[in-house]
Amino acid sequence: MTLRDYLLSLRKNWLVIVALTVIGTIAGFAYAQLQPEIYRAQSSVVVVPTRGDNTSELVQGSNYVQSLVQTYAFVATSPSVLNPVIDDLGLETSAQSLAGTITVETPLNTVVLNIGVVSRDPETAATIADAVALELSSAVRGLSPQNADDQPAVRLELVSPARVPGFPISPNVRLLTIVGALAGLAAGVVFALLRRLLATRLTGPADITALTDTAILGDIAQLPSGKSLPTAIRSDPSGSSAEAVRSIVANLRFANVDGNAKVILFTSGQSGEGKSSVSVSVAQIMAEQGAKALLVDADLRRASVDSYTQLEGSVGLTTVLLGDVSLEDAVQPWGNDNLDILTSGALPPNPAQLLTSDHLRDFVQSVRDRYDFVVFDSAPVLAVSDPLFLAPVVDGIVVVSRSRVTKRDTLMRTIAALETTRVPILGIILNGVKREKNTSPYYRPEEKRKSIFSRPAEALPRS
């Protein structure tokens, strides 16, 4: 995937990304509201030597107490200090559990101990912090060596008693909300990219280009439900659908620059990809551009050309091949003097036998001499083998696929099956592409167009 593909994936899934970001924000905020409020109180004590009559003793005492600070920090959370605190305050906890709520920090190059206590109750946190400081002072007196006066050589003095905190330190509502939003945003982006990377169905021409070197003849936009492509072209000859098919016909001429491909087979991998409607429409545009064209419904399993054209379907290809009627009597003009339709006729129990007969070869040769282009609408190649039987009598093959329906693997298997026939694959048509509404004036409904010719006579500029 290119950078453009990534950006298109993000743009295509922007609603999901926004939704997940909002959900993440709400989840982060809700999580913060569900968390209990935690308060922290801190008391500070300083370790000082009891004597220092001269400068030498002061230096020695300072070095001595600095070596003891880390030891006293450990003692502050020991059971010898915390058990008396629990007894004095009547706490319902153990020394080990209480130690988990206490942190003792020793700022660098100082003899200060900062005793921090966290609790759900601010007053309890302050009370415990002061109690630990006082009990630690008592423990230090017992642990300190005696001087010449039988007094402890080191003592602890409370320099900053704990204050009752006014604000909790946890939860951090803003931080948790931002983290939730970022997590939702990341989930949305990952979803969009994985959806693109792991997509199994075709969505646009770029997907086909990534799979095969076979030319893309064009793509046709998705039509409203219940409206067929041939109907759209007949009802609006200057609409976007008609222009898309004209572009396909033009690309077919470029693919057939030598003019050798007069008989063209239209097929697809599976049913429901729009091969019949596309083949009818291509024949329409060929006839519109002055070519004498014949459309043959060679799908002898599920014929549908007669339903698109509203022509009689009981007499057609099968009756001509069986010799029941002549070609002249079986073909039916439709829409344009240059376009003839040969419907399927009665569906036979053994289509393969008819499609491999000499009668079909003779039929193709006769229509090749009478028409500029002959378009065969065939059955799906992965469903039945009929297109493979037809391939030897045609000059080129066109594959029709449908956006968001045709799987990538299906298209690859279709091309692989057709390549075994050694008949040139002229290109691929992607049908049913979902596009944003086209705002170009060329494709607006006729009644919405504005021009000087639609103004009242008195409004026209005077010469």
Tokens 């003839």 found at:
340
Q: How far is Cα 89 from Cα 404, in angstroms, rounded to an integer?
A: 71
What local confidence, expressed as pLDDT, does residue 260 receive?
A: 80
| Contact call for residues 44 and 112 (beta carbons, < 8 A) | yes
Residue 10: alpha-carbon gap to chain centroid:
7
pTM: 0.64
The angle, 0 to 180 degrees and rounded to 10, between the axes of the packed helices 55-75 and 122-143 is 130
Q: Which two tokens stand for residue 26?
A: 């709400």
Closest by CA to 261, choosing from 454, 159, 398, is 398
Q: Which two tokens stand for residue 299?
A: 């799908």
The sign one gets for the Cα dihedral 350, 352, 357, 360 is positive
Cα separations in angstroms, 353 against 128, 315, 321, 378, 446: 97, 19, 11, 15, 50
Q: How far is Cα 198 from Cα 193, in angstroms, rounded to an integer?
A: 8
Q: Which residues of the chain have pLDDT under 70?
A: 1, 51-64, 147-150, 436-463
What local confidence, expressed as pLDDT, does residue 455 receive?
A: 43
Residue length of the chain = 463
Amino acid sitting at position 231: T
> What DSSP letter does each residue of 28-84 carry, written as one string?
HHHHHHHSPPBEEEEEEEEEEES--SSHHHHHHHHHHHHHHHHHHHHHTTSHHHHHH
